[in-house]
Structure 1
């Protein structure tokens, strides 16, 4: 007889530290640029800056692990709506 463990009902808590920065990241030159308020041109500039950033993946990981702290602005190249959608996709049970 094979006995399998029940599937966990909660997801593990991820501990993701804020990524180390050098001060030369695009968002460090003018942080306000990463909080565009419904301005498509400003959003495009922020996303372009993120695309060129060496800590983009670590930044996005932090934002996904801390959605309340990263509720606004562009983090890792994604908008709040993009991140919310990604979190929902990642949290959905596998098909």
Structure 2
């Protein structure tokens, strides 16, 4: 979900907004994710909670949920309202505090440096061939064990279980 105003600061360029070719729920039904901070109180509390739960379920199946959460955490001023990656503004605030406790007050810079180092390692690995001894080991491993098998996709039940664990962790924070 993306709600910006012309006077809002620009998003952090080190963390681009996640994109996917797959249709996401937040693009198909943006109103579902547009919960203002006060929406969870008052006469429509049950209706708002229902919308929030429906948005969380949609996010749990999204292919870019992790990148969306990272973007929402880094771009605080752009995500003061609404549901991003199944989290409310208060939950994102708690997550930011935990990141600051764990990585320090400049946690955004730490994450950006880690991402940059990961990209550089991946780029170097593409252009640096394995030494002969390691190439032989890889060849033998493939002969004995077959090609690398990808992990299976999570079932809907596993996704629900992971979401409930995430919610429980956010409540504990």
Aligned-residue CA RMSD (Å):
1.9
- Residue 74 (str. 1) matches residue 83 (str. 2): yes
With normalisation by structure 1, the TM-score equals 0.78
Q: What TM-score does the superposition give when structure 2 sets the normalisation length?
A: 0.44
Over alpha carbons, which structure has the higher Rg?
Answer: 2
Helix, strand or coil at the partner of 1:64: helix
Q: Do structure 1's residue 40 and structure 2's residue 56 form an aligned pair?
A: no
Residues in 1 aligned to 2:91 and 2:23: alpha-carbon distance in whole angstroms: 25
- Structure 1, unmatched stretches of 5+, are 1-12
Question: Aligned with 2:78: secondary structure?
Answer: coil
Per-residue CA distance 1:14-42 (angstroms, 9 max, x = gap): 82110013361011111010013321000
* Shift of residue 71, structure 1, vs aligned partner: 1.0
Q: Where does structure 1 differ by over 3 angstroms across 4 or more consecutive aligned residues?
A: none
User: 1:43-87 deviations in whole A, cap 9, x for unaligned?
Assistant: 000000000100000100100110111111111111100000000
Aligned length: 82
Indicate yes or no: 2:64 matched with 1:55: yes
- Say which structure is richer in helix: 2
Question: Is the deviation greater in 17-26 or in 49-58?
Answer: 17-26
